A and B are shown apart, each in its own frame.
Chain A
Amino acid sequence: MAHGHLDLLLLAVLRRGGPQHGYAVIAGLREASDGAFDLPEGTVYPALHKLERDGLVQSEWSSEDGRKRRVYALTGAGRTALVARKTEWAMFRSGVEAVLA
């Protein structure tokens, strides 16, 4: 279920937490969803790479405490895409709720 909306979730985590490395993005996703979206963590990185190829996030290596990490940040296009996808999600959710009511 989460995989179908992973792009939206990752963009939202990056907007909420600002630039952060992959481990923190995954931890942020788990915490914000209260453990509901407990994906194999290694499958999140390819999704981040795809967002980067699409120009929605950017990344660069950083070195902290002698440890090398790749830090991801939302781009302007990513912020715009997030707004559009949130609107789509809200419409989808209200449609489903209307049917289920």
Chain B
Amino acid sequence: MTDHEAIERYLDELLVQLRGSPRTVRRALAEAESHLHEAVAAGMDADEAIGRFGGASVVAAASNHASGTPLSVVMRQLLLAACLLSAIGFTAIGASALISGAMDAAFGPSFVAGDLPSITYTAARCDEYRRLAPTEPSCRAAAARHHTDEVETTGIASGVVGLAGFGAWAFLRRRWRATPATGALPPALVPGAGVAVFGVGALALAIQAMQSIGWHSTSGLGQWLSQAMVSGAVAAGFCVTLIRTLRRSPVTILE
């Protein structure tokens, strides 16, 4: 290996271990390169120059410690990430409510949020449902209407909260744009968390939907199906983003 190749290899190792703003990383790398070439020009071989300069992990640790991201910047980025994930979550609930509404129109309220056939109602409970849904022909149908309306209205309200969350996220991101925060959080953090949260959610909701089918009843199946569909779609979207982010990330495998 030539001196030039040895230095290049060392700089590659250093690059993948440096943290901080792009400017900090570029400067640390440029000074390391300048220093090593200076040492070689002064008569050292590359291995000796690198040995004197210090292992990549030691030098990177010293640089990362000196240019450590302030806690306030880390907290802001975490808040932004939490805000974005919450906004997506609430909006997803809103979207599932719209799908539930479509299922309600197509298959009726019993499919969306009806009770299982084994559920019975007290007279007082039945009267309450009949009062809330007087046009329904039976107590069971009135209960299904009530539950479905509840699923749809709370879902739509969640969707509105989610859209407000997107607004808050966009506002805070613009407000904190001047913060030199690049690299404070790993770029794959939000998509990774999204895949985990929405993936597990989709799985749990799909299991819930399958249990309804297992009980040989479609009563209440719609709400689980709609939520599982939306959660699965969001998880798939995060998965695509995660793969793209990981493929864009700085090279971490040394040749």
B interface majority secondary structure: helix
Question: In the complex, which residue of chain A has the Cβ closest to the Cβ of B54?
Answer: A40
Q: Which of A9-17, A65-73, A81-89, A92-100 contacts B (4 or more CB under 8 A)?
A: A65-73
* Residues on B with beta carbons closer than 8 Å to the beta carbon of A41: 35, 52-54
Min distance, Cβ A56 to any Cβ of chain B, angstroms: 14
Min distance, Cβ A45 to any Cβ of chain B, angstroms: 5
* Residues on B with beta carbons closer than 8 Å to the beta carbon of A23: 34-35, 38-39
Q: How long is the Cα–Cα vector from A20 to B209 in the complex, in angstroms?
A: 71
Min distance, Cβ A12 to any Cβ of chain B, angstroms: 20
CB interface residues, B 30-49, toward A, < 8 Å: 30-32, 34-35, 37-39, 41
Question: A21-B34, A67-B37 in contact; A46/B63 too (CB < 8 A)?
Answer: yes
* Residues on A with beta carbons closer than 8 Å to the beta carbon of B24: 49
* Residues on A with beta carbons closer than 8 Å to the beta carbon of B67: 46, 49
B66 on the interface (CB 8 Å rule)? yes
Tell whether, in the assembled complex, residue B35 and residue A42 are in contact, meaning their CB atoms are under 8 Å apart. yes
Q: How long is the Cα–Cα vector from A69 to B35 in the complex, in angstroms?
A: 8
Q: How long is the Cα–Cα vector from A70 to B41 in the complex, in angstroms?
A: 17
Tell whether, in the assembled complex, residue A67 and residue B38 are in contact, meaning their CB atoms are under 8 Å apart. yes
Question: In the complex, which residue of chain B has the Cβ closest to the Cβ of A48?
Answer: B31
Interface size class of A (residues with CB under 8 A): 10 to 19
Tell whether, in the assembled complex, residue B34 and residue A22 are in contact, meaning their CB atoms are under 8 Å apart. yes
Min distance, Cβ A54 to any Cβ of chain B, angstroms: 11
Min distance, Cβ A19 to any Cβ of chain B, angstroms: 16
Min distance, Cβ A57 to any Cβ of chain B, angstroms: 14
* Residues on B with beta carbons closer than 8 Å to the beta carbon of A21: 34, 38
A47 on the interface (CB 8 Å rule)? yes
Tell whether, in the assembled complex, residue A40 and residue B66 are in contact, meaning their CB atoms are under 8 Å apart. no
Question: A45-B63, A68-B30 in contact; A40/B38 too (CB < 8 A)?
Answer: no
Tell whether, in the assembled complex, residue B58 and residue A46 are in contact, meaning their CB atoms are under 8 Å apart. no
Question: In the complex, which residue of chain B has the Cβ closest to the Cβ of A38?
Answer: B52
Residue of A23, A50, A70 with most partner-chain B CB within 10 A: A23
* Residues on A with beta carbons closer than 8 Å to the beta carbon of B59: 40, 42-43, 45
B28 on the interface (CB 8 Å rule)? yes
Tell whether, in the assembled complex, residue B58 and residue A69 are in contact, meaning their CB atoms are under 8 Å apart. no
Q: How long is the Cα–Cα vector from A21 to B33 in the complex, in angstroms?
A: 13
Min distance, Cβ B24 to any Cβ of chain A, angstroms: 8
Tell whether, in the assembled complex, residue B37 and residue A45 are in contact, meaning their CB atoms are under 8 Å apart. no
Question: In the complex, which residue of chain A has the Cβ closest to the Cβ of B14?
Answer: A42
Partner of B34 from the list A40, A49, A50, A69 (CB cut-off 8 Å) is A69
- Interface flags, A18-48, vs B, CB<8A=1, else 0: 0001110010000000000000111101110
* Subset of 30 A-B contacts with CB under 8 Å: A21-B34, A22-B35, A23-B39, A26-B35, A40-B53, A40-B54, A40-B59, A41-B35, A41-B53, A41-B54, A42-B35, A42-B53, A42-B59, A42-B62, A43-B59, A43-B62, A45-B31, A45-B59, A46-B28, A47-B66, A49-B24, A49-B67, A50-B66, A67-B34, A67-B38, A68-B30, A68-B34, A69-B34, A70-B27, A70-B30
Task: Give chain A's interface residues, CB within 8 Å of chain B.
Answer: 21-23, 26, 40-43, 45-47, 49-50, 67-70
- Counting from the closest, the 7 A-B pairs by CB-CB distance are A40-B54, A42-B59, A46-B66, A43-B62, A42-B54, A23-B38, A42-B53
